[in-house]
Structure 1
Amino acid sequence: MVADISAAPRAVEPDPDPVAEGRPRKGPAAWVAMYHSVSDCRDDPYNVTVTPDRLDRQLGWLAARGLRGVSVRELLAARARGAERGLIGLTFDDGYTDFLTHAVPVLHRWGFSATVFVLPGRLGGENSWEPTGPRKPLFDVADVHRAVAAGMEIASHGMTHLNLTRTTDEVLHREVEESRQRLAALTGGDVDGFCYPYGCLDERVVAAVRRAGYRYACAISPGPADSGDLALPRIHLGQADISLRLELKRRLARYYGRALEAV
């Protein structure tokens, strides 16, 4: 058990006092957490799996500090109102079916929501882009509907999980634009978000995402200049992230360029 999970939730800390020159210090910036698979599978060569128990402890750690996990769509809407303080974006890449069986119950237990980045070209398939490691099933059409019904945001991870910086313009168009269209048809609503497979992006890829009409896109590190919300940095959370590591990642988010600054 993580030592500080059982602590009573604390209110979000007040803004720091202004500095002597009269300019206010920046308060803690919001950040976006990156997850993938949630299961008890111990064969994890890419460090993309957390157990349901670990996820529960990590979300409890957030709640104990007055923080609430939300979808990226909700986080950005709050930021536009200047109300993002106390919110953490939660994202789950690839659309593994274990998100529904293991992550959603934990998210609901804490009153959190999240964004799931789905691969519409692999619906009902598995993570065959990974050369080694266990095969894990991916969302099918019914799973997309279940995630929406559970209050989660569905967003695109491209059609088939390709490194988009290495594709032709034709393939890039299909991966970015067609994936958005197919997910919108499945969900019956707009698809605001995109996630770059492997975190790989360049100016050409960002331009394609912009043309496709996405409102935001998630990366890992900050993207090319002027990418703005089309290259939101994220912080990877894995099985090894207990309370001390979580606190360090939280405190160093802005220093390493992984924080979501106010607009």
Structure 2
Amino acid sequence: MSVATAARVRLPLPPVLMYHSISPSREPDPHRLRVHPDRLDRHLRLLRRLGLRGVSLTELVRAADRGAAAGLVGLTFDDGYTDFCDSAVPVLQRHGMTGTVYVVAGRMGGQNEWDTGPRFDIMTADQVRAVAAAGQEVGSHTMTHARLAGADPAVLAAEVGESRRVLEDVLQAEVASFCYPYGSYDQAAADAVRAAGYDNACVTGDYRPGDRVTLPRCYVSPRDTRAHVVARLARHAVRLRHASSRD
């Protein structure tokens, strides 16, 4: 099997949880992005109680390559908000876990201008380096948080390829993981991710095709209790079996 063909084969992973902002703020949150740090702490305590360990997406994928992903759960945090550095990293470290934070490379030091409503600060280059030094994975979330489905080749090259180059320049290290903003992708976008040299990429809830650059995730809402997390873990297993049975 060629490398290109292998990249398109379904990769059945354990669940991958999808967070955004981790903050104690009580400001309006119409897009349901903000999970309180205490709630994240309860979620991670639950994982430990279940005998599970949260890891970055690249660690999870490479463990799966070795047949060693049992007992792991992927933890991802979209957009690269400063509260990941301030609020999420201490909780992750307390539990001996890691995650992948997906940074909008062209908005470092800025805000989430792609959203209507509340503004969230995005990490600076120095904060991105600090997060990586703390053992967390930094992945790419494009240059501008653009929707990639239907984008022309020049846009794909800029958003997918240039964002990797920018982050690798900041980190002086490989950036292996990519995340499609809004979960918006098509075959051309997935091909652009492969061409840019990423090892893996994740979407939002789609379980097909579910290959190395279209890995599904489970959205975690600001009000999710431990029972909700258990339900999401169980639902992942059901959806994965269903998708695999249709291949």
Q: TM-score, normalised by structure 1?
A: 0.84
* Cα distance in 2, alignment partners of residues 46 and 96 from structure 1: 15
Paired AA for residue 124 in structure 2 = D
Counterpart position of 1:216: 200
Q: Does residue 173 of structure 2 align to residue 179 of structure 1?
A: no
Higher helix share: 2
* 1:90–1:115 contact (8 Å) kept in structure 2: yes
Q: Does residue 56 of structure 2 align to residue 71 of structure 1?
A: yes
* Cα distance in 1, alignment partners of residues 16 and 72 from structure 2: 9
Counterpart position of 1:199: 183
**What pairs with 1:33-48 in structure 2 (closer than 5 Å)?**
33-42=17-26, 43-48=28-33
How many angstroms does 1:252 deviate by? 1.1
1:256 alignment partner, one of 233, 239, 242? 239
* Cα distance in 1, alignment partners of residues 129 and 54 from structure 2: 21
In the superposition, relative to structure 1, how do residues 68 and 84 fare at CA in structure 2: closer, same or farther (>3 Å)?
same
* Cα distance in 2, alignment partners of residues 113 and 129 from structure 1: 27
Q: Does residue 227 of structure 2 align to residue 244 of structure 1?
A: yes
* 1:165–1:200 contact (8 Å) kept in structure 2: yes
Number of aligned residues: 232
How many angstroms does 1:221 deviate by? 2.7
* Cα distance in 2, alignment partners of residues 251 and 57 from structure 1: 18
* 1:219–1:233 contact (8 Å) kept in structure 2: yes
Query: How much is the aligned-residue C-alpha RMSD, in angstroms?
Result: 1.9
* 2:205–2:219 contact (8 Å) kept in structure 1: no
Counterpart position of 1:111: 96
How many angstroms does 1:32 deviate by? 0.6
Q: TM-score, normalised by structure 2?
A: 0.89
* Cα distance in 2, alignment partners of residues 224 and 259 from structure 1: 10
5+ unaligned residues in a row in structure 2: which ranges?
A: 1-11
C-alpha offsets along residues 197-240 of structure 1, whole Å, 9 cap, x if unaligned?
00011111111111111111010133664x61100000011222
* 1:31–1:235 contact (8 Å) kept in structure 2: yes
Structure whose CA Rg is larger = 1
1:169 alignment partner, one of 153, 156, 159? 153
SS in 1 for 2:164: helix
Counterpart position of 1:228: 211
How many angstroms does 1:29 deviate by? 5.7
Percent of aligned positions that are identical:
44
